Structure formats: structure tokens, C-alpha cells
């Protein structure tokens, strides 16, 4: 077979096959098979690149089952950049492997939906219609195929999808300290509009003037994850052009998956003579919302929020961006809030971009494990920083009949600040 060159070959040799990552890999722990471990996948990827293995159904299935959660990177003492290896392989899989027709249709639909503003609004509309029709009740119906049952179970509660758009500009509240822009995001703006409003409110209360340029686009993360690299790069270029021309102290991102991808813009464009400098400059300004606010001298929130909260680390925040302490510190600063530790807090919930749509069986297994851990905390709310985790975990809690709510860090923090005339809330 013709060798495929999809990643710097030297990077494979960082892996010394020690196996110290195995216990951190959700798919290995669930299945116990070497080919579903980071070490096994690295061997497979290297064999593919060297032309020693065929891109057949079995190999693709093992690679598709990888969540891309990067827990293995956190665990690896040799600094293996596993995310780069698997993300490098995804476009080659899409180019060289012919998927079954239904699978191709599903991926085509996802790739057309999310990066397009109208697609994201249609997605939001379908969630609203599904919720209004009460399709979630079929999540337990034996008459419905298992995959559809799982998808119906993901539908949000009626009234919980918020598409409220942001304005172009918000002044700082009190003395101005920073000028920032916010990535409004495709899924965030169509489904989690209220969380975008909360993010703006928290930033304003902490002395930030907030800009929301309307010409921005989807970050490209879901496309890159699905192997559609060229389209993802085109979206990234548009964002670089839009945000780089603003005089910003920071570009704020409140979706962990988007933040992890955007912080890679510098690396993705390092060989592009036109975008290299602009991408590197902008990457240095990118901050997750909790990372940024946690790095400011916090203006003390004054409203009490009397809840017992636990925190779930989104993979792309904890493993992808190394942001773990700041969200917890922000939550502890909320008057009246009590924190309790979540066992396996950085274990993937099964959402993983569009993984819960492409690999529903494994996603459901991981969700069950996550919900069991959340239930053990007896918390009122589980807090996290990624829209996919919010939807996945909320669905799991509802299906298990638990009264707990999944909320974004910015939503809980925003509750602790006073509403002001002319503010976003
Ligand atoms: S990825 Fe890292 S931890 Fe895992 S086997 Fe290779 S060197 Fe060891
Ligand atoms: S990214 Fe996650 S699922 Fe994939 S090999 Fe690493 S730990 Fe396992």
C-alpha cells in the first residue's frame, strides 16, 4: 500500500510504549482492547503512515472510537502529542476510506450544519421542535432503534434552547480595565444564547469593554474533528482576519472545544506566509472565559447563590488547554455556593464534539459512568465549560430521573452579579 504522510513522522517516536496512559483512556478502560488504547492507536497510525497497514473497516473503527479527549496527553510522561497524531489522520481517513452510505450521509449533514449560521439555527429549531413534541419520551421505547433512542434522549427540555443574539458592543461596568472580543460560536449562539449573555455580563462586571464582531464565523473545530480540514482552515482564516484587526487585550471563548481548536491556529498556519504572523499574534490573545476572568483581580460577586455545586472538567478545557483551577476558584468566590468534588471529574462524558452522534453506543456508556459519579456527589448543580458536555450531561441526568441541573460556569457566576440597567441581563 502507498504510504500516507499525514503527520511529522518523528512524532511517532516520542511514544516509548510504556503504557502509562492506558488507565486514563476511556475507550481502553471500557473495552480492554489494545487497539482502543492510545498506545495501540499510535502503533496503528504509524503503520498506516509507513504503508504497513491497510485503511480497512477494522482500523477505521478503532480510530473512530477515539474520543479525541487527550486524557492520554495529560497522562503521558514522554510528551506524546497524541491530539496532533489523531487529528492529522482524520482528513486522510475521509480522503482514502469509503464509509457506508448512511454514515457518509450523517457526516455530510453534520459538516454542512454546524459551520453555517443558518445550519446552526436549523439545528436549534429542530431541538426546539423535538422538545415541544416530547420526542424525549421515546428514549426508553423498545419500539425505537437503539441509536434513535439515544439521540431522542439528548433532546433538551422545552424552553431551554436560547437563541438570543448578542449586540455588537457592550461598555464596561465601572472602571474599564480591558477591551475584549467574544467568539459567539455556532452552537453557542444558536442553542446557548443565554450563556453568551452571561459571559458578557461577567466580563462587563469585571471592567471589560466587550466587542462582538458580526463577521466572525464558526471556529472550525467540529469540521477539523470530522476530517474536513480545508473547510476548517477557511473558517479559521475568516476569524483571524476579523479578530486580528481589532485592538484587543483578549479574545474570549466560552466553549472548551472551540477554545482548544482556536489556540491551535498558530500551529495550523505556521507554514502559511500570509497568515503565520496574524495567527500567532491572535493565538497569544485567546483565553477561555473562566481562564481569563480567573486571571483578573475578580470584582467580588455580591449576590448569594445558595446551591451545592460540583465541577466537571470538559476534556478540551482540562486536557486540551490545561484550565482546571480557574473555574473552580471562580465558583468558590460565589457567596453562598458550596463546592463538592466530582470523582473522575476529567473523565470524558461521551459528548466529544459530534462523537455522541457518530458513536452513540460508547457515548452512552461513558455518560452512564459520568451520571453515576455526579449522583454520588448529591450536588444540586454540575458545572462545566463546554456546550456539548452541558447537553450530554443534562440528558443523562434527566434520563436517570435525577433533579440536578447542568450549568455553564459563566451562567452560575453571572447569577452572582447584580443586573444593571442596560446590562446584558
Ligand atoms: S503515549 Fe505516552 S504514556 Fe502512552 S504508551 Fe506512549 S509514551 Fe507511554
Ligand atoms: S484521546 Fe482519549 S480516547 Fe483517544 S486515545 Fe487518548 S485518552 Fe483514549
pLDDT at 424: 46
Q: CB of 349 within 8 A of CB of 387?
A: no
pTM of the predicted model as reported, rounded to 2 decimal places: 0.92
In this predicted model, what pLDDT tens digit does every residue of 218-259 receive, in sequence order?
Answer: 999 988 888 888 999 999 999 999 999 999 999 999 999 999
Question: What is the spatial distance between Cα 387 and Cα 365, in angstroms, rounded to a whole number?
Answer: 19
* Whether residues 81 and 114 fall in one domain: no
Whether 85 is in a domain gets the answer yes
User: Which atom of ligand 1 is nearest to 22's Cα?
Assistant: 4
Ligand number nearest CA of 63 is: 2
User: SS3 for 407?
Assistant: strand
Tell whether 423 is covered by a domain.
no
270 in a structural domain: yes
Contact of 108 with 64, CB cutoff 8 Å: no
Give domain status of residue 4, yes or no. no
Q: Are residues 225 and 143 in the same domain?
A: no
For residue 206, what are the domain limits? 169-294
Distance 22 CA to ligand 2 centre (A): 9
Atom of ligand 1 nearest to the CA of 14: 7
Burial status of residue 134 (CB atoms within 10 A of its CB: 0-12, 13-18, 19 or more): exposed
Mean pLDDT of the region 370-381: 98
Residue-wise pLDDT tens digits, 290-345: 999 999 999 999 999 999 999 999 999 999 999 999 999 999 999 999 999 999 99
Same domain, 273 and 378: no
Q: Is 350 in the pocket of ligand 2 (CB under 6 A)?
A: no
Instruction: Looking at the structure, tell me whether residues 30 and 82 fall in a common domain.
Output: yes
115 in the same domain as 88: no
Domain end marker among 96, 126, 142? 96
Report how many domains make up the chain: 4
The dihedral through the CA atoms of 101, 104, 106, 108 has a sign that is negative
The CATH number for 320's domain is: 3.40.50
Mean pLDDT computed over every residue of the chain: 91
Same domain, 23 and 39: yes
Q: Residue 81 has which C-alpha cell?
A: 502529542
Judge whether 147 lies within some domain: yes
Q: Is the dihedral of CA 323, 326, 328, 331 positive or negative?
A: negative
- Ligand 2 centroid – CA 10 distance (Å): 20
Residue pLDDT, tens place only, 129-166: 877 777 777 777 777 777 677 777 777 777 777 778 89
Predicted local distance difference test score (pLDDT) of residue 4: 62
Which residues have a Cβ under 8 Å from the Cβ of 256 and sit 6 or more positions away?
288, 314, 315, 316, 317, 320, 321, 323, 385, 386, 389
Mutate to test the pocket of ligand 1, among 11, 21, 29 (most ligand atoms within 8 A of CB): 21
- Does residue 49 belong to any structural domain of this protein? yes
Q: How far apart are CA 165 and CA 181, in angstroms?
A: 15
User: How would you classify residue 379: left for phi > 0, otherwise alpha for psi between -120 and 50, otherwise beta?
Assistant: beta
Closest by alpha carbon to 236, among 274, 191, 200, 193? Answer: 274
Percent of the chain with pLDDT over 70: 97
Amino acid at each position: 500500500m502507498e504510504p500516507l504522510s499525514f503527520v511529522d513522522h518523528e512524532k511517532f517516536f516520542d511514544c516509548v510504549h510504556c503504557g502509562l496512559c492506558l488507565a486514563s483512556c476511556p475507550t481502553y478502560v471500557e473495552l480492554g482492547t489494545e487497539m482502543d488504547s492510545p498506545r495501540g492507536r499510535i502503533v496503528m497510525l504509524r503503520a498506516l503512515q509507513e504503508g504497513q497497514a491497510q485503511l480497512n473497516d477494522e482500523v477505521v473503527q478503532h480510530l473512530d472510537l477515539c474520543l479525541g479527549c487527550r486524557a492520554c496527553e495529560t497522562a503521558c510522561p514522554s510528551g506524546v502529542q497524541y491530539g496532533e497524531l489523531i487529528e492529522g489522520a482524520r482528513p486522510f481517513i475521509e480522503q482514502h476510506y469509503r464509509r457506508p452510505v448512511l454514515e457518509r450521509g450523517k457526516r455530510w449533514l453534520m459538516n454542512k450544519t454546524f459551520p453555517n449560521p443558518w445550519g446552526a439555527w436549523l439545528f436549534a429549531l429542530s431541538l426546539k421542535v423535538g422538545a415541544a413534541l416530547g420526542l424525549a419520551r421515546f428514549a426508553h421505547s423498545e419500539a425505537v432503534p437503539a441509536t434513535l433512542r439515544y439521540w431522542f434522549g439528548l433532546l433538551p427540555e422545552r424552553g431551554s434552547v436560547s437563541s438570543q443574539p448578542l449586540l455588537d458592543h457592550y461598555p464596561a461596568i465601572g472602571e474599564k480595565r480591558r477591551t475584549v472580543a467574544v467568539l459567539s460560536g455556532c452552537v453557542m449562539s444558536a442553542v446557548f444564547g443565554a450563556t453568551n449573555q452571561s459571559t458578557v455580563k461577567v466580563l462587563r462586571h469585571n471592567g471589560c469593554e466587550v466587542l462582538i464582531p458580526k463577521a466572525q464565523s464558526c471556529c472550525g473545530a467540529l469540521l477539523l474533528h470530522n476530517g474536513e480540514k480545508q473547510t476548517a482552515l477557511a473558517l479559521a482564516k475568516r476569524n483571524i482576519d476579523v479578530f486580528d484587526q481589532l485592538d484587543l487585550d483578549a479574545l474570549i471563548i466560552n466553549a472548551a472545544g472551540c477554545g482548544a481548536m482556536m489556540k491551535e491556529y498558530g500551529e495550523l498556519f505556521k507554514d502559511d506566509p500570509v497568515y503565520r504572523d496574524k495567527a500567532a499574534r491572535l493565538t497569544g490573545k485567546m483565553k477561555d472565559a473562566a481562564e481569563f476572568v480567573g486571571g483578573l483581580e475578580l470584582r467580588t460577586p455580591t449576590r448569594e447563590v445558595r446551591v451545592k455545586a460540583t465541577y466537571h472538567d470538559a476534556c478540551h478545557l482540562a486536557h486540551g488547554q490545561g484550565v482546571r483551577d480557574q473555574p473552580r476558584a471562580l465558583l468558590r468566590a460565589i457567596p453562598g455556593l458550596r463546592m463538592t468534588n466530582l470523582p473522575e471529574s476529567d473523565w470524558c462524558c461521551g459528548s466529544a464534539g459530534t462523537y455522541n452522534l457518530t458513536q452513540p453506543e460508547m457515548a452512552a456508556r461513558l455518560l452512564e459512568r459520568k451520571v453515576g459519579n455526579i449522583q454520588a456527589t448529591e450536588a444540586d448543580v454540575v458545572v462545566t465549560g463546554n456546550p456539548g458536555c452541558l447537553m450530554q450531561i443534562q440528558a443523562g441526568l434527566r434520563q436517570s430521573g435525577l433533579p440536578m441541573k447542568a450549568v455553564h460556569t459563566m451562567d452560575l457566576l453571572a447569577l452572582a452579579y447584580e443586573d444593571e440597567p442596560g446590562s446584558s441581563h
